[in-house]
Structure 1
């Protein structure tokens, strides 16, 4: 199955690199595409459990799903993830 998730705090290519690397590492997740302009992540997954795992990973990286609470902690995590992605 394929889905698109709209996320918060996505700012640049560094963020996109971090998201792509971390989401692609999850088992049964493939074809990860990050669109910075529309703040979305598109990917293929096999089970609802995989989808939940991706959402949890995005949240832990500082990119909660659009509509979720966007705490100061999430924003701070996204800046760190962004910097790491720029160095990769």
Structure 2
């Protein structure tokens, strides 16, 4: 199945690189695409459990899905993830 979700805190190519790299490491998640101008992340997954894992990873690296809580800690994590993404182009 394929899904596209709107995420919070998505700012630039650094964010995009981190999201693609981290989600691509998740079992049963593939074909990750990020549009930072539209604040969307799209990917293929097999089961609802896989989708939940992807949502958890997105939140943990600072990019929670729109409609979920976006605490200060999460916002700060997004800046860290962004910086890492810029360094690992």
Q: Please, what TM-score do these two structures have when normalized by structure 1?
A: 0.98
RMSD of aligned residue pairs (Cα, Å): 0.5
For structure 2, the residue ranges without an aligned partner over 5 or more in a row are none
| Structure 1 unaligned blocks of 5 or more | none
2:21 alignment partner in structure 1: 21
Give the corresponding residue for 1:55. 55
- TM-score, normalised to structure 2, is 0.97
**Residue number in structure 2 paired with 1:86:** 86
Paired residues, number:
88
Hey, what's the Cα distance between the residues in 2 that align with 1:68 and 1:47?
21
1:26-80 Cα shifts (integer Å, max 9, x gaps): 1111110000011010000001000000000000001011011111001000000
